[in-house]
Amino acid sequence: MRLPCPYCGVRDAHEFSYLGDAAPRRPDPAAPDAADAFHDYVYLRDNPAGAIRELWYHGAGCRRWIVVDRDTRTHAIAGATFASGSASGDAS
Amino acid sequence: MSEILSDLPVTDLLPPGRHGRADGAPGVIAHPLSRLAVATLVACKGAVPRITEAALAAFGVALADAPKVSFTADIAFIGTGPGRWLVTASQAPEALMARLTDAFGDGAALTDQSDANLMLDLYGPAVGETLAKLVPVDLDPSVFRPGDAAATLVALMPLTFWQLNDSPAYRFAIPRSFAPAFLRALASAAASAGLEMAGPARG
């Protein structure tokens, strides 16, 4: 499988480290239901058969986190963007 | 072919001379560069436009924030990541650092890397078929051209390389501690074509 890094171009998946689903957002630790929210954030993941947005780290190339749109059934890659949203120079 | 790799300690650099196929002209020439100053330039958060302007003003370089080489006659900026460059110049490391500090001031993190890498030029008629065994990047002229750069893995060793011209010749920046292993991998990959290891390798 090859991933289209927004900076480096198409590269072999071995250059990347996989993190997982890009959807979970860190809950507000000050919220009254923080314990339940953190349980879901840490442990619960969807397991879709189809399109998923997931985080990969290009450790062997530009050393940036990217979000890849991948179909879990076919490994078809629809695209990739920088995870930070900003293209340049902003450490994240 | 040469049996050099059977006897060479794994921690030693490949000695200068001919390796692999001994007859005819060498297919690959490896030329270590010992007088090249190298530094990393990393733009501070949000400072890429300022760095780009400063590069144009101070060096006359149209700095590309991309895996490309932006260069003039005496300095080259090689893109290694967003807002990050490897800078090379044929001068003393202290002189390069002074020029970069003057140009970019507090808009970037600058680190002298002159001792960090084995800088190696590779060229010759068989350089393409040899690198096809080493580099997991498509080097076909329709995809990878002079001025293109890549940070990648060669035999699990992280390095940066870029294309110098369309003969083709490539320049590799190999982390110093990986130099013996990289040169062994190169000697193996180039054995069928014959490798000429030039000059004293520093690493």
Cβ <8 Å between A62 and B66:
no
Q: Which pLDDT tens digit goes with each residue over B7-51? A: 898 889 999 999 999 999 999 999 999 889 999 999 999 999 999
* pLDDT band, very low/low/confident/very high, at B73 (cuts 50, 70, 90): very high
- CB-nearest to A88 from B65, B67, B80 is B65
Q: Which domains does chain B have, with CATH numbers?
A: 4-33+117-197 (3.30.1360.120), 37-112 (3.30.70.1520)
Residue A92 touches chain B, beta carbons under 8 Å: no
Model pLDDT, residue B200: 65
Residue to substitute from A8, A10, A65, interface B, most B β-carbons within 10 A: A8
* pLDDT band, very low/low/confident/very high, at A90 (cuts 50, 70, 90): very low
The class of domain A2-22+36-82 in CATH terms is alpha beta
- CA–CA gap between residue B115 and residue A81 (Å, rounded): 34
List chain B residues with CB under 8 Å of A63: 81
Encoding tokens for residue B27? 């297919």
Taking CA–CA distances from B150, the nearest residue in chain A reads: A8
**pLDDT beyond 90 at A27:** yes
Cβ(B198)–Cβ(B16) under 8 Å?
yes
Residue B153 touches chain A, beta carbons under 8 Å: yes
List chain B residues with CB under 8 Å of A15: 136, 152-153
Neighbours of A1 (CB within 10 A): 11
pTM attached to this predicted model: 0.91
Q: Which pLDDT tens digit goes with each residue over B127-171? A: 999 999 999 999 999 999 999 999 999 999 999 999 999 999 999
**pLDDT beyond 90 at B2:** no
- CB-nearest to A8 from B46, B65, B67 is B67
* Displacement of CA B10 from its chain's centroid (Å): 22
Q: Which pLDDT tens digit goes with each residue over B79-121? A: 999 999 999 999 999 999 999 999 998 999 999 999 999 999 9
* pLDDT band, very low/low/confident/very high, at A91 (cuts 50, 70, 90): very low
- From B3's Cα to the closest Cα of chain A, the distance in A is 32
**Sequence-ordered list of residues with C-beta below 8 angstroms from that of B61, at least 6 positions apart, any chain:** B55, B70, B71, B72, B75, B77
Sketch the domain layout of chain A as residue ranges: 2-22+36-82
- CA–CA gap between residue B188 and residue B19 (Å, rounded): 9
Cβ <8 Å between B151 and A64:
no
Cβ(A75)–Cβ(A4) under 8 Å?
no
List chain A residues with CB under 8 Å of B67: 7-9, 62
Taking CA–CA distances from A11, the nearest residue in chain B reads: B137
- From B158's Cα to the closest Cα of chain A, the distance in A is 6
List chain B residues with CB under 8 Å of A62: 67, 80-82, 84, 151
Residue A26 touches chain B, beta carbons under 8 Å: no
**Sequence-ordered list of residues with C-beta below 8 angstroms from that of A84, at least 6 positions apart, any chain:** A64, A65, A90, A92
Percentage with pLDDT > 90 across chain A: 89
Neighbours of B88 (CB within 10 A): 25
